[in-house]
Amino acid sequence: MSDLTTSTNSKLEFRLAQSEKDFAKAFPLILHLNPTISVANFWHYTKAIRSHGNYSLYLAVLDQELVGICGCWVATKFYSGKYLEIDNFIIHPDHQRNGYGRDFLVFIDAIAEKENCETIMLDAFLENKKAHNFYKSEGYEPKGYHFLKKVAHKPS
């Protein structure tokens, strides 16, 4: 996926996570949306996610401090055509309401355009009304529910 760096008028620098160290820096932010994930499962899932070849993790950095992350999948579905799916879009709570989420989405829009995507999609937890309002304000429209069914298999 794209190795685009800062392309907005933001104070943030956007970087592609490339090393294990970059992913390790993302773990504390991952905990904000996924508070029960263990370190071991984080690394297990990170390895699996990266093995697919269509995932990138972008870092939002302000004065050398990681303030946000955004995972991106690029694939194709019948109902959307080629799409970029935002996964774990997180701005650290101490840095929310400064326009950084909006700046990050402008950056992600540029990646979707560079990747020739027709659609950008994302999931937001039902109870996360603040996120729903934010995404709606940025032009995202709710289109349905995302259903999950747990199966007995646990990661090894």
**Which CATH number characterizes residue 53's domain?**
3.40.630.30
- Which pLDDT value is given to residue 17? 97
Counted domains in the chain: 1
Q: Return the bridge partners of 87, or none.
A: 71
Paired sense of beta strands 65-77 and 13-16, if any: unpaired
Q: Which domain holds residue 93?
A: 13-137
Q: How many CB atoms lie within 10 A of CB 119?
A: 14
- Could you tell me if residue 7 is inside a domain? no
- Could you tell me if residue 98 is inside a domain? yes
- Which pLDDT value is given to residue 152? 82
Residues 6+ apart with CB under 8 A from 146: 123
pLDDT tens track, the chain, 156 positions:
555 554 456 799 999 999 999 999 999 999 999 999 999 999 999 999 999 999 999 999 999 999 999 999 999 999 999 999 999 999 999 999 999 999 999 999 999 999 999 999 999 999 999 999 999 999 999 999 889 898 987 665
Q: Report whether 69 contacts 58 (CB < 8 A).
A: yes
- Could you tell me if residue 151 is inside a domain? no
- Which pLDDT value is given to residue 6? 47
- Which pLDDT value is given to residue 83? 98
- Could you tell me if residue 147 is inside a domain? no
State the maximum Cα–Cα separation within the chain, in Å, rounded to a whole number: 47
Rounded Cα distance between 79 and 83, Å, is: 10
- Could you tell me if residue 45 is inside a domain? yes
